[in-house]
Amino acid sequence: NAGVTQTPKFRILKIGQSMTLQCTQDMNHNYMYWYRQDPGMGLKLIYYSVGAGITDKGEVPNGYNVSRSTTEDFPLRLELAAPSQTSVYFCASSYYGAWDEKLFFGSGTQLSVL
Amino acid sequence: GIQVEQSPPDLILQEGANSTLRCNFSDSVNNLQWFHQNPWGQLINLFYIPSGTKQNGRLSATTVATERYSLLYISSSQTTDSGVYFCAVEDGTASKLTFGTGTRLQVTL
């Protein structure tokens, strides 16, 4: 049981480049999330999904896009990378409606935009 | 949106000591969770505790929803307890958690 898997673990981008952060979970969770964590700070929600085909914006969605074609996968797309997107990105999932709606995180992607 | 404040921001303990971390929130919540981020950055869920008290080994948590706070107790601390402890709450919108800024704990020998 792998849980929440993110790839890549590290990436350096040049300003203006694009990339996709991959996230997959094998726990049959209906809800999935993308958070970013800036140095010394808490986590901020970028986008979330309540099920396949349904996505919505979080607190800091500008510069990002998401899709959710399957229950398992929730990729995050960065278009025209900017230095302000340098951060650690975490994917997470939970089973909303369960008696215990714990949030499980992937191991994170450290992204630098130079 | 809902505000989450954690205290203290930093804490240094000697191994074996006990500690209490506090999380205050500004509105009623449907969901409250505590997380530990270890020095390698991994986030581990400690408790799902929108109300009441739970215990897991040396850790326990209590949420008093009517007074809008939660406490995380760490007893007999170990160096492996070092890291940042986050409280996160959800105020009723699609299980979107809002995170506090964390308590950074260092346990020394």
Which positions ≥6 away from B14 have C-beta within 8 Å?
A: B77, B107, B108, B109
Q: A103 at the B interface (CB within 8 A)?
A: yes
A3, containing H or E segment: none
- pLDDT, tens digit, 9 for 90 and up, residues A35-79: 999 988 889 999 999 999 999 999 999 999 999 999 999 999 999
Report how far residue A46's alpha carbon sits from residue A89's, in angstroms, rounded to the nearest whole number. 9
Whether the per-residue pLDDT at A100 is higher than 80: the answer is no
**Chain centroid offset of residue A22 CA:** 8
Question: Does A64 reach chain B within 8 Å, measured CB to CB?
Answer: no
CB atoms within 10 A of CB B36: 21
Among A41, A59, A101, select the one facing B31 at the smallest CB separation: A101
Instruction: Tell me the pLDDT of chain B averaged across its residues.
Output: 94
What's the distance, CA B63 to chain centroid?
10
The type of residue at B31 is N
pLDDT of residue A40: 82
User: Do you know the residue count of chain A?
Assistant: 114
Residue A85 has pLDDT above 90, yes or no: yes
Let me know: does B7 contact B102? Beta carbons within 8 Å: no
* C-alpha distance from A23 to closest chain B C-alpha (Å): 15
Chain B CA closest to residue A58 = B96
Is the confidence at residue A99, as pLDDT, over 80?
Answer: no
